[in-house]
Structure 1
């Protein structure tokens, strides 16, 4: 953790095996925000659900370093097809986090490894 991150109280990764709860807490085709206490700091991430598959990302836009959603759990475009930054309009693929439109085309969201096991979501 850099001095800047420590001062802000943020970390950018989590340990594997953290139980985030039932998969059903995330609407199929939707997204959910997670904030985890890691020592004295906090991790902010979100998970997008596509059926039984989950895709996790650090909640930080590569363009400006801000969280993507201005409203809790509002990470997707209205049709649910892409992840959207509500600040500057960047859009990212759900499967890879690659920016495909907006001010940071070619950049990627930082992945947050997650998986499902027995109907629950865990950090991987």
Structure 2
């Protein structure tokens, strides 16, 4: 039996195959967000989905400022009123449906999109 490598040594991937069911659309409040970790072969993908105004958008869970995951608390990607995505580490804020950074240390940058779509009440990778 072998021990799994520490999280810091696990391989990361930045894309996922299309058609993977993530959750029911109703599982994410509107506005709301939810993080996902998918195992792709021997590597792991970290992303999150935002739901706002009946639309969904997905992003790689990595801030363009320094590459850290955005949330320090599970599924807490949005500011309390749900109007913006917040990087909890350095305070960068992003538009929820475009991923554009509108304030903070990476203003003008964008989150890396993760293609997702909602159909038939299910959110899937696209």
Deviation of 1:28 (Å): 1.3
C-alpha deviations, 1:65-88, integer Å up to 9, x for none?
000000000001121100000000
Hey, what's the Cα distance between the residues in 1 that align with 2:54 and 2:12? Answer: 29
Out of 79, 82, 90, which is 2:84 matched to? 82
Residue pairs, 1:93-108, within 5 angstroms: 93-108=95-110
How many residue pairs match? The answer is 118
| 2-structure distance, mates of 1:76, 1:12 | 22
Give the counterpart of 1:45 among 44, 47, 72.
47
Following the alignment from structure 2 to structure 1, what is the Cα–Cα distance between the partners of residues 54 and 81?
Answer: 19
Moved over 3 A (4+): none
Structure 1 length normalisation: TM-score?
0.92
1:106 Cα shift? 0.8
Q: Which sections of structure 1, spanning at least 5 residues, go unmatched?
A: 1-6
**Which has more radius of gyration?**
2
Match of 2:26, SS state, is helix
Deviation at 1:52, TM superposition (A): 3.0
- Residues 34 and 44, structure 1, Cα contact 8 Å, conserved in 2: yes
After TM superposition, the score normalised by the length of structure 2 is 0.90
Q: Which runs of 5+ in 2 are unaligned?
A: 1-8
Deviates more, 1:48-57 or 1:68-77: 48-57
> 2:117: which partner in 1?
115
Superposition CA RMSD, Å = 1.0
Q: Tell me, yes or no, if the aligned pair for 2:52 and 2:97 is still in contact at 8 Å.
A: no
